[in-house]
Amino acid sequence: METTPSTNNPSVSAEGPVSSEARQTELLAGRHRFLPYSPALDGLRAVCVFAVVAYHFAPETWTGGLLGVSVFFTLSGYLITTLLLLESDRTGTADLGAFWARRIRRLAPAAIVTTLVVLLLASWEPWGWSNALRVSDPIAAVWSYMNWHQISIAPTAGLRIVHPLSPYWSLAVEEQFYAIIGVIYLGVRHLRRPAYAMLAITACAWVGGAATALFGNLSTTMAEWGTHVRAPEIAAGVILACVLFLAKRQPIGRAADLLGWGAFVTLLTLFVLADKTQWWLFHGGFALVSVVSVGVLVGLLAGGSLSRFLGWRPLAFLGTMSYAIYLVHWPVRVAIVPENVGGLDGAPLAALRLVVALGLAALLHFGVERPFMNRFPASPRRVFLIWIAVSLAVTGLAYGLLS
């Protein structure tokens, strides 16, 4: 990965001088000058979110579709770490306040809107979700600890653990990672080569998480949702980012492209053949999948035939909506059941759910996600205050409507 020489002047970007105010606006809006856009990564997102949706809508087909979440973890680890390292290298520092504010602006608006809609529907008795949603569920969703909430209630919740907001567990894991990676960066940023320290720390996290899953006497819920157990999937992406940053070059050549194709075919095979009931998956399997995900990313970064294939414009377009699709697909799955649609079942039911989910995802993406990212310039402090205020309001509403 080619980088330009570092500088201690925060007003210089990869494209020349820029005012601090303009730089802050660029960073808050998510338009990073340090990392070029790759349509192929959005194409990969589209494939992975389709795997997750297929797993939930037609579980008899893509039985391993839950592994799409694993790929998202590794991709996030790679992208976030690359952004931190490149910004630090080219400006002499990384603005963690702006970094966390970007994450809030990118993720919170759509997640909170979805939570509010689910909460309002759950409070409407004819809808019937009041029996499936606890007061604590929307609170865990907006405060990003859904995975630990699920673990804590699993022994007594029974089927109520499968509520309309339950997929927020993976969002919680990612958002906890954003906090942790920032803290790690704070601890190593004054070192001469902070990337080496980040590489060592995350390599230990990968080994430790894999060993915990393999040898620890974990409950199924802990093995699936524990942040420390799922750490290898994110750590794998961080490791890739650190290695490429230190090498100062991207993967190139036919060998990298072939590696990517082999890993991608392996990933598709796992989506179809893996099963949540298989022993290996919760005993180190997620860590192994992270290695496959890294192989796919190496192939995409090489810019060869795999990159062109996954960069196909319609596929990349769907990938830009992958977050919105993930947020709405499970509430749609819970709402559209045979008894609510005249006994419709099988493939027609799955098709109906898919059409509704895509429509709602488009509304969420274009009506909430994009406007907040592109038309809401605000300082990190204001972003944090607004997020806290809105989250407190959702908390109060949850108590008021579901108690």
Q: Which of 385, 399, 330 is nearest to 53 (CA)?
A: 330
Query: Is residue 311 one of the residues assigned to a domain?
Result: yes
Least confident of 38-52, 93-107, 229-243: 93-107
Query: Is residue 53 one of the residues assigned to a domain?
Result: yes
* pLDDT tens profile 236-275: 999 999 999 999 888 888 999 999 999 999 999 999 999 9
Q: Is the pLDDT of residue 372 over 90?
A: no
Q: Is the pLDDT of residue 216 over 60?
A: yes
Query: In the prediction, which pLDDT does 343 show?
Result: 81
Distances (CA, A) of 250 to 6, 60, 85, 300: 18, 39, 15, 10
pTM value is 0.88
Query: Is residue 12 one of the residues assigned to a domain?
Result: no
Q: Is the pLDDT of residue 380 over 70?
A: yes
* pLDDT tens profile 136-189: 999 999 999 999 999 998 776 554 557 889 899 999 999 999 999 989 988 888
For residue 16, the cross-strand partners are 13
Q: Which of 2, 197, 198, 10 is nearest to 94 (CA)?
A: 10
Amino acid letter for position 320: T
Query: Is residue 149 one of the residues assigned to a domain?
Result: yes
Tokens representing residue 89 in the block: 């290298």
* pLDDT tens profile 110-121: 999 999 999 988
Query: Is residue 304 one of the residues assigned to a domain?
Result: yes
Q: Which of 108, 77, 87 is nearest to 27 (CA)?
A: 87
Domain that holds residue 341: 32-402
* Average pLDDT over every residue of 87-108: 86
Query: Taking all residues of the chain, what is their mean pLDDT, rounded to a whole number?
Result: 86
Within 10 angstroms of residue 32's Cβ, the number of other Cβ atoms is 18
Domain count, the chain: 1
Question: How far apart are alpha carbons 119 and 111 in whole angstroms?
Answer: 12
Query: In the prediction, which pLDDT does 23 show?
Result: 38
DSSP string over 23-66: HHHHHHTT--SSS---HHHHHHHHHHHHHHHHHHH-TTT-TTTT
Q: What is the DSSP letter of 12?
A: E
Instruction: Judge contact between 42 and 320, C-beta under 8 A.
Output: yes
Amino acid letter for position 109: P
The CA-CA-CA angle for residues 178, 180, 183, to 5°, reads: 110
Q: Is the pLDDT of residue 222 over 80?
A: yes
Question: How far apart are alpha carbons 367 and 375 in whole angstroms?
Answer: 12
Query: Is residue 4 one of the residues assigned to a domain?
Result: no
Distances (CA, A) of 114 to 117, 138, 202, 323, 367: 5, 10, 33, 12, 12
Instruction: Judge contact between 173 and 73, C-beta under 8 A.
Output: yes
Query: What phi, psi does 19 have (nearest 5°)?
Result: -65, 155
Query: Is residue 229 one of the residues assigned to a domain?
Result: yes
Instruction: Judge contact between 246 and 196, C-beta under 8 A.
Output: yes
Q: Is the pLDDT of residue 65 over 90?
A: yes
* Diameter over CA atoms, the chain: 66
Query: In the prediction, which pLDDT does 160 show?
Result: 54
Burial class (CB in 10 A: 0-12, 13-18, 19+), 190: exposed
Tokens representing residue 189 in the block: 């940023």
Within 8 A by CB and 6+ apart from 207, the residues are none
Q: What is the 3-state secondary structure (H, E, C) of 302-316?
A: CCCHHHHHHCCHHHH
Query: Is residue 240 one of the residues assigned to a domain?
Result: yes
